[in-house]
Structure 1
């Protein structure tokens, strides 16, 4: 059984929680570019699209580059952490998350919304919560 097959339940629904948590940990928390690229190949379709508040990014290499630059920008202790379990049905999954330094306050919160096809992320929207006062 391939990794992709393991992400689809007997009912045909993807494992939204496993997939979206793996995206946070293996892509957006991964500082090693080679490991990040391998994770993207495992978790995303061949031609994925990432929708960020300020950009639309197409392709695995571009998503890896965005994730790497984000980690460089915020420093070595910055991490994304899931809040609760991902939920989804009929190919649409969501996962709330928070991010910030390991030993510091939460810097940003948001939600990832994924269009999932055959157990892989086809399109991913990164929705940031408004800053709190």
Structure 2
């Protein structure tokens, strides 16, 4: 039986992804964070598509922030959890002073302390 390497700090890694990639409005800072947080060629799966590469993920994050405005922010809901290379962090997003526009979770496959694959799961809209 193979014993896996010590689990990474899923909470720190997935919160950093939320804060330093998806909440970062400065493209240069976002790109620098991507080099730290993601493998060389990560893949991100969203409901509307799949993108590969650090730059493509940064572009998606920047486009979201541009689309929803300067007051839009992603907020973690509790700590991320994970084991055996798979981490999960629930979040919600919207204007800083409410209401929640969208909620969901990030699920990440992590190898050698970096995100290699990221699934963005969206909850159904609240009515």
TM-score calculated relative to the size of structure 1: 0.91
**Cα displacement (A) at 1:104:** 2.1
Match of residue 110 from structure 1: 104
Question: SS state of the match for residue 17, structure 2?
Answer: helix
Match of residue 123 from structure 1: 117
Unaligned 5+ segments in structure 1 are: 1-10
Aligned length: 123
Q: Does 1:59 align with 2:53?
A: yes
Match of residue 3 from structure 1: none
Question: SS state of the match for residue 85, structure 1?
Answer: coil
Match of residue 62 from structure 2: 68
Match of residue 90 from structure 1: 84
Aligned-partner Cα distance in 2 for 1:132–1:105:
11
Q: What does 1:11-90 align with in structure 2 at a 5 Å threshold? A: 12-90=6-84
Cα RMSD of the aligned pairs, angstroms, is: 0.7
Aligned-partner Cα distance in 1 for 2:98–2:54:
31
Aligned-partner Cα distance in 2 for 1:39–1:69:
17
Unaligned 5+ segments in structure 2 are: none
Aligned-partner Cα distance in 2 for 1:80–1:49:
20
Aligned-partner Cα distance in 1 for 2:88–2:31:
22
**Cα displacement (A) at 1:12:** 1.0
Q: What stretches of structure 1 move > 6 A for 4+ residues in a row?
A: none
Aligned-partner Cα distance in 2 for 1:65–1:90:
29
